[in-house]
Chain A
Amino acid sequence: MSFREKINWISLLAMAGVYGWYFWTVMPLLAAGHGNALRVAYLLGSTVAILQIVPIIVVAIGAPRDAQAPEDEREKLFSLKGTRSAYFVLVAGALFTSTAGIFFGASAGMLANYILLSVVASNIIKYATQIAYFRMTG
C-alpha cells in the first residue's frame, strides 16, 4: 500500500469515525437544546486533525523517502478524481442547506450543521474515491 493511500485511509477513518459519532449521537441531543452544537462540532474538528496528524507522522517515520516524495502523475490523477466526486456532494449539500433555510425555516445553528455535514460528506467521498482508484489499480 502506497504512502498516500495510507494517508487517505487514515483521513477517511478519522473523519468518518468522529463526525459519524457527532451526527448520529451528539447532534440530536444538541439540537434539542443541550449545549452548544457548533462549539462541540469545532472541538471535534480539532480531534479529527489530531487523529489524522499523529498516525500520518507515524507512517511517515516508517517510510521517510515515500513521505518526502512528491505526488506522481497517478496519485495526482486520483486526487483530481476525488475532488471532482466531492464537488457534486458539496453542491448537493449547498442546495439542501439553502432549501432548508428558505423553505423550511431552519435555525442558524441547524444551517451551520448542514453546511458542516456537507463539508464532511464531501471530504469522505473524496477520500473514498481516491482509495477506490488506488485499490482498482493496485
Chain B
Amino acid sequence: MIANTIRRLRFDRGEMTQAELATKVGVTRQTINAIEQNKYSPTLETAFKIAVALGVEIGEVFKYV
C-alpha cells in the first residue's frame, strides 16, 4: 500500500486547501481527496507534480508501506 503525508504537508503550508493543491497539480479536488485518503494511487507523473507543488521530495510525500 502507498501511504502519503499530503494532509500534514498541506497543514504545514498554511492550510493549503485541496482545491489549491488540485489547481497546482492539474487534477480535480476530488482526485486530491481520493489520493489523500489512500483510495486512489496517482500516476508517477502526478505524484511528482504533488511533491513539486508541496515543495518537497517525492519520498517525503509518498511511502510504500
Chain A residues at the B interface, C-beta cutoff of 8 Å: 1-3, 5, 66, 69, 72-75, 134, 136-138
Q: Would you call A73 and B39 a contact (CB within 8 A)? A: no
Query: Smallest Cβ distance from A130 to chain B, in angstroms?
Result: 13
B3 within 8 A of A: no
Q: Which residue of A lies closest to B27 (CB)?
A: A72
Which among B27, B30, B40, B42 has the highest number of chain A CB atoms within 10 Å?
B30
Q: Would you call A74 and B26 a contact (CB within 8 A)? A: no
Q: Would you call B34 and A75 a contact (CB within 8 A)? A: no
Chain B contributes a number of interface residues (CB within 8 A of A) equal to 13
Query: Smallest Cβ distance from A4 to chain B, in angstroms?
Result: 8
Q: Would you call B30 and A2 a contact (CB within 8 A)? A: yes
Residues of A within 8 A of B33 (CB): 138
Residues of B within 8 A of A69 (CB): 28
Q: Would you call B34 and A2 a contact (CB within 8 A)? A: no
Residues of A within 8 A of B29 (CB): 2
B18 within 8 A of A: no
Q: Would you call A138 and B34 a contact (CB within 8 A)? A: yes
Which among A73, A74, A137 has the highest number of chain B CB atoms within 10 Å?
A74
Q: Would you call B34 and A72 a contact (CB within 8 A)? A: no
Complex: A66 Cα to B28 Cα, angstroms: 8
Q: List 28 A-B contacts (CB under 8 A).
A: A1-B30, A2-B29, A2-B30, A3-B28, A5-B30, A69-B28, A72-B27, A72-B28, A72-B31, A73-B27, A73-B31, A73-B42, A73-B46, A74-B27, A74-B28, A74-B30, A74-B31, A74-B34, A74-B40, A75-B28, A75-B31, A134-B30, A136-B39, A137-B39, A137-B40, A138-B30, A138-B33, A138-B34
Partner of A2, one of B26, B28, B39, B40: B28
Complex: A40 Cα to B42 Cα, angstroms: 45
Complex: A75 Cα to B31 Cα, angstroms: 9
